[in-house]
Amino acid sequence: MIIYGINAVSEALKAGRVVSLRAGRRNDHRLQQLLALAEDSSVPIRRVSDDELNRESGGSSHQGVIADVSERRMYELHDIIEDAHAAPPALIVVLDGIEDPHNFGAILRTCDAVAAHGVVRQTRHSAPLSGATTKASAGAVAHVKIADVVNIARAVEDLKEAGIWTIGLAGDASQTYDKMDLSVPTAFVLGAEGTGLRRLVRERCDMLACIPMKGHVDSLNVSVAAGVILFEARRQRQA
């Protein structure tokens, strides 16, 4: 897989996943630090033209570097549940149909920031683990455990059976997220932007929560909403 961007490549290097690098002719400090890290890790570096970097990144902002990385390890749902039981209380994110790589990457970045135990997503109708996702995650994709499942509704049931409260985010919910006890083992279930949670997934959740909106718009971008509720959970746990 090809990834690009200084943060994304740096984190992949730290995780030991980079096979080789292609770097442009930029000479800024951050890129030089990254190349030094690659040399220390004995990762081959090849100097190429900006045209090649542009072509390989599909025209995305590559910041002068592209990396070939080994396939990341994929986890099972039970792996994430076991990790959550080993370092309680559980903090897990379940994605029901998030297909935008920038939203997916931003959610992974927040999950890493709050030390969530992992992300659960469906094998179909999910954003790919592409260069765009990796760059949007600022490299967090190298650190966050991701489990692919066939059926999100079934995964919600499995989480409940494991003693983890499942909270679906829905704009029409009667309870607000900040009035809930989020210090208990929790899995937040987030639906696709525009359509929200699918009916069966919504019905499987223990509770539904909303983020109260005081302005003129009636909803937040799903990655922003994820940041709001995850940091509230972290705040309550630290308190």
For 174-213, the pLDDT digits (tens) are 999 999 999 999 999 999 988 899 999 999 999 999 999 9
Report pLDDT for 111: 98
Does residue 71 register a pLDDT over 90?
A: no
Question: Is residue 47 scored above 80 in pLDDT?
Answer: yes
Domain definitions of the chain by residue range: 2-69, 77-238
2 DSSP β-pair partners: 68
Residue 60 pLDDT:
80
Q: Decide which of 205 and 215 is more confident.
A: 205
Architecture of domain 2-69: 2-Layer Sandwich (3.30)
The pTM of this model reads 0.87
CATH class of the domain defined by 77-238: alpha beta
Torsional class of 211: left (φ above 0), alpha (ψ -120 to 50), beta (otherwise): beta
Q: What is the 3-state secondary structure (H, E, C) of the chain?
A: CEEECHHHHHHHHHCCCEEEEEECCCCCHHHHHHHHHHHHCCCCEEECCHHHHHHHCCCCCCCCEEEEECCCCCECHHHHHHHHHHCCCCEEEEEECCCCHHHHHHHHHHHHHCCCCEEEEECCCCCCCCHHHHHHCCCHHHCCCEEEECCHHHHHHHHHHCCCEEEEECCCCCCEHHHCCCCCCEEEEEEECCCECCHHHHHHCCEEEECCCCCCCCCCCHHHHHHHHHHHHHHHHHC
Q: How much is the pLDDT for 64?
A: 87
- Picking from 32-36, 81-85, 217-221, which range would have the lowest pLDDT averaged per residue? 217-221
HSE (CB half, 13 Å, CA atoms) of 206?
20
